Amino acid sequence: MSNPAMPGLVKIGYTERVMSERIQEANQSTWVPQEFSVEFAKFVKEPNAKEQIVHRILSADRVNSKREFFKTTPERVRMLFELMDGPWWDGEETSEPETRVMGDDIIRLFLDKYVYPPTGDGQAVTWGVLAATFQTWKRESGITQGNVMKLKDRITDVYGRPNRGEGWTSFSLRVPGKTE
């Protein structure tokens, strides 16, 4: 992204949300005198890892080690993006690949596959095991979105709060490699 109030700087980051939401969020800050615009974007697997690589390559151009702004040109950054597999974002929300799973659909897919009625064995599902199973499933499925806190909120909505210090006994969890 670039901003006319910050000439010569490019913001390089990733989002797991819809682009229009991310742009709106960036432009809502009262600290930003003019609006950001997206120079280009690409749908990639493992966006966090790819972002870190691009940041390392451009580290000498980084303005602040705690911020994602670089003193470079969009054209130079675009060359790095050219090396990454994945379709380009064309500015329309509908341009996302049809097979891309987003938002609450990710949580529903996970719940449908891994959460089922309690087996009666008394085994409580702890938050750590639930979060780790969710992250493993996402990684193995090539899914880059899906916030674990949204999973926790959804689980709490459906199954209530976990038993104090033990976890949930109101459902069972299929842990890959253990119960399959």
At 115, give phi and psi (nearest 5°).
-110, 130
Tell me the C-alpha distance between 21 and 103, whole Å: 12
Tell me the C-alpha distance between 46 and 139, whole Å: 8
DSSP secondary structure string for all residues of 58-119: TGGGBS-TTS-EEES-HHHHHHHHHTS-SPBP-S-GGGS-TT---HHHHHHHHHHHHEE---
Return the SS3 of 153.
helix
Tell me the C-alpha distance between 110 and 180, whole Å: 15
Q: Which of 1-10, 37-46, 118-127 has the lowest mean pLDDT?
A: 118-127
* Complete domains list, the chain, with CATH: 9-95 (no CATH), 103-173 (1.10.10)
Return the SS3 of 21.
helix
pTM: 0.54
Structure-block tokens of residue 58: 């451009």
Task: Please enumerate in sequence order all residues whose Cβ is within 8 A of that of 139, keeping only pairs 6 or more positions apart, or say none.
Answer: none
pLDDT for 109-133, tens place per residue? 888 888 888 877 767 888 888 989 8
Tell me the C-alpha distance between 110 and 164, whole Å: 24
pLDDT for 143-170, tens place per residue? 777 778 888 888 888 888 888 778 888 8
pLDDT for 56-102, tens place per residue? 999 999 999 999 999 999 999 999 999 988 888 877 654 444 445 55
| C-beta separation of 6 from 49 below 8 A | no
Task: Please enumerate in sequence order all residues whose Cβ is within 8 A of that of 119, keeping only pairs 6 or more positions apart, or say none.
Answer: 172
